[in-house]
Each structure stands twice: as C-alpha cells, then as structure tokens.
Amino acid sequence: MRNALRALLYALLALPLALAGLALVLAGLVAGGVLSVTPLGPWLIALTVRGALALGGLQRALLRRLLDVRIEAPQPLGGSGSGAFGWRRAVLGDRSGRRAVGCALAAPLTATPPLVAVIAGYAYGALFLLHPLVKRWNYFTVHEPDGSTRHVSLEIGGVQLDSWPRWLAVVVAGALLLWLAPRLVRWSLVPHRFLLAGLLAPDAAARRIRTLEETRAQAVDDAAATLRRIERDLHDGTQARLVGLGMHLAMIGELIAADADRESLLKVVATARSNAQQAAADLRHLVKGIHPPVLDQGLDTALATLAADSALPVTVTADIPQRPAPALESIAYFCTAELLANAVKHSEATRVEVTVTAYEHRLRLSVRDDGRGGAVVGAGSGLTGLLARVRTVDGTLTCDSPAGGPTVVSVELPYR
C-alpha cells in the first residue's frame, strides 16, 4: 500500500516537473540561440545546461525517495581552465549536460502516461464506485433539435445507467479500476524510468573513465603501501639481523685473535648462525608476500598449499584448462588467502570450500564458508581492499552473506 501511494505521488509530480523543466530549458536554448551573435548567448546556453543538470539531480532524488530507484550521478564538472570562462567551457563541453538537456526536452512525453493512468485508474475508478451516491451530479446535458435540453445520466453504448441493476455494473467496473490502478501506474512509469536512467546516468564511456581513474589511483596507493611495507620489513627485520650478524662475525674475529676458549667461540658462532638463518627466513617471507614461489607451479597447486596451511578444513576444486596470466594467478591467490583468513578470524566457520573455474574467457573464484554470515563489502572490511585489487584488471567481486550464513564471495577476472 505504501509503495502504491508513493508511485501515485510520483505520477502526480512527474508531469508538472517535466513541463516546468521543458519550458525553462526550451526558453533558455531559444534565447541563447537568438543571442548567440552576442557575448550573452553562450553564457545563457551554459546556464541552461547547468539548470538541466540541476533538474536531473532533482529527478534522481525524486526517483530515489518515492520509487527507491537509484540512478548514478554523473561525475562532477571538471575545470577546463580557470575562471568563469573555464567554467563555461567545461559546462558546454560536458556530455552529461547535453544528455540532461535531452532528458528535459523528452521527459513530458514519458511523464504523461503515468498521469493518464492515475486519472483512468483512481479518478474514474472512484467515480464509478461511488456512482449510486453521486449520480445526481454525474450527468451531462443533451441539446434536442427543437432547442430544448435534457439531462442524461451516465450512458455507455446508448444505455443509460440510471437504475440499480445497471448501477451494479458501474460499481463493479469502478472497483476493478481501483484494483488495477496501482499496476497501471507502475507499468506506465516504466518508460519514464528508462528515459531518466538512460539519460541522467553516466554513459558507458564516462563510467569506464571513472572506473579507470579510481582503479589507477587505488593501484598507485597499493603500490606505495607495498613499497613502504617492504622498506619497513627490511629496515626493522632483515637489516637489523644482518647488522647483528656482522657484529657477531667481528666478535668471532676478536675472540680468535685473543685466543679465547673454544666454548665461548662456539657460542658466538651459534648466535651468528641463528641470525643468518632468521634473516634468510625473513627474506623468504618478504618474497612470498610479493610473489609466492608456489605460484610458479600453477594456481591449483598454490591454492592447495593455502588450504593445507589453513586452520580450517578447506576443500579446493580447480578446473583450469589453460593457465591464466601471472597477474591473474597472483590476484586469485591473494584473494583466496585473504578470504581464508577472514573465515578463520571472523566467520566462526567449521569448513570452507574453494572453487576456481575458467569459462567464456573468465576466471571465476568462489570461496564459501558455513559461518555466521553478515559480511558486507565496505564499512572498512577487508573485502573493500579485495574489490579494489580485482578492479585493477577489470574484475568483479560479489558477496552473498545473509545473517546466519553461509557466506559466498565470488571473484571474476578476465581470462588472459
């Protein structure tokens, strides 16, 4: 009932808003065209385009509030130079502005059917349903050839509906129209919604550019964070151990020169050997964080190794006829490692299933656990970082995690 009332309110508001937008945009374009021979014309056209963009924002807000339809907003205008002339150049060169103008000019055509559906369904439905009560006002005047006039009650096909058996048919028709009215309004709104979604949302090229800009920024940030981590690990771990190794080797030389006893010398040698072994282990761990050596044997082997090292029972199913590119193998490996770690830390799961398949030039990775669910992409979760990682190669990540579980995270990567 609440959704029907919202759709009714939107249908009543859509046409007046569309007509107002049409009048303002058309007047601005005509005036700007007439004045285009003067410096004022381009400014007036730019203001009209900017008004069309504002009208588009109002249309998107109205759709979101009343119909719960979310349309992505176009990217904010970027400066094309500084100052007022730069702003005007940016507005006139913006594709989303031209699309908003087209939407304002075409919106009345698609906003009319919803209002017609409201009149036919709700207004006439109520009128027919209440016909026995309002029949004294529900008539029209007929002028006879002799100049006289007479009042005729509601008439359909030459039959006057002025007696109670005929009233019943009118009442039934009114009830049927009121029952169908929400559906009529909803169906009549479909073309209008398609028009707004098609012209007010960013086009494919703009959306692609925005995605590339975001993924490029995320890749740069990720690379910088990785370099800082490597530098920190080398400085705090491996470098400190190598410095200690050098000090112990110097100490060994001093002990030998001083003809120290064998037991003291062996103790310092053992400490130096331990530092060397730990430094080598730190380097192996550092290299594994950059590119796990096990990936050289293939993604299926690497995932099996991850499953063997996990604290939970993990089943791995791999069907990869042709080996993907090393970058995709690395992304799939680190995504699996992160998802297994999340399952151990947060999900309270008892088992995990990992499935990786290749189909139609796509590599699909699915990690399913039987935990408590509730995982969400965003809100500071590790899934946000995984999404940023897979988007750098035009991949996608989806998470299906209802309360109570299970949690299924699917990653799709282009198979190159």
Three-state SS for 70-124 is: CCCCCCCCCCCCCHHHHHHHHHHHCHHHHHHHHHHHHHHHHHHHHHHHHHHHHHH
Distance CA 335, CA 315 (A): 16
| Reported confidence tier of residue 271, pLDDT bands at 50, 70, 90 | confident
Tell me the average pLDDT of the chain. Answer: 76
* Contact partners, residue 78, CB within 8 Å, separation at least 6: 90
Distance CA 89, CA 91 (A): 6
For residues 261-299, one letter each, b for 16 or more C-beta atoms within 10 angstroms of the residue's C-beta and e for the rest, the string is eeeebeebeebbeebbebbeebbeeeeeeeebebbeeeb
* 293-414 is a CATH 3.30.565.10 domain: yes
Do 265 and 255 touch, CB atoms closer than 8 A? Answer: yes
pLDDT higher than threshold 70 for residue 378: no
Torsion angle in degrees (nearest 10) through CA of 80, 49, 92, 205 = 80
| Reported confidence tier of residue 238, pLDDT bands at 50, 70, 90 | low
140 phi and psi angles, rounded to 5 deg: -135, 160
Q: For residues 80 and 316, which has the higher predicted lDDT (pLDDT)? A: 316
pLDDT digits (tens, 9 = 90+) for 66-84: 888 888 777 766 555 567 7
pLDDT higher than threshold 70 for residue 285: no
What local confidence, expressed as pLDDT, does residue 392 receive?
74
* Contact partners, residue 378, CB within 8 Å, separation at least 6: 384
Which class for 136: exposed (0-12), middle (13-18), buried (19 or more C-beta within 10 A)?
Answer: exposed
Domain residues of the chain, as ranges?
2-199, 204-290, 293-414
Three-state SS for 162-226 is: CCHHHHHHHHHHHHHHHHHHHHHHHHHCHHHHHHHHHHHCCCHHHHHHHHHHHHHHHHHHHHHHH
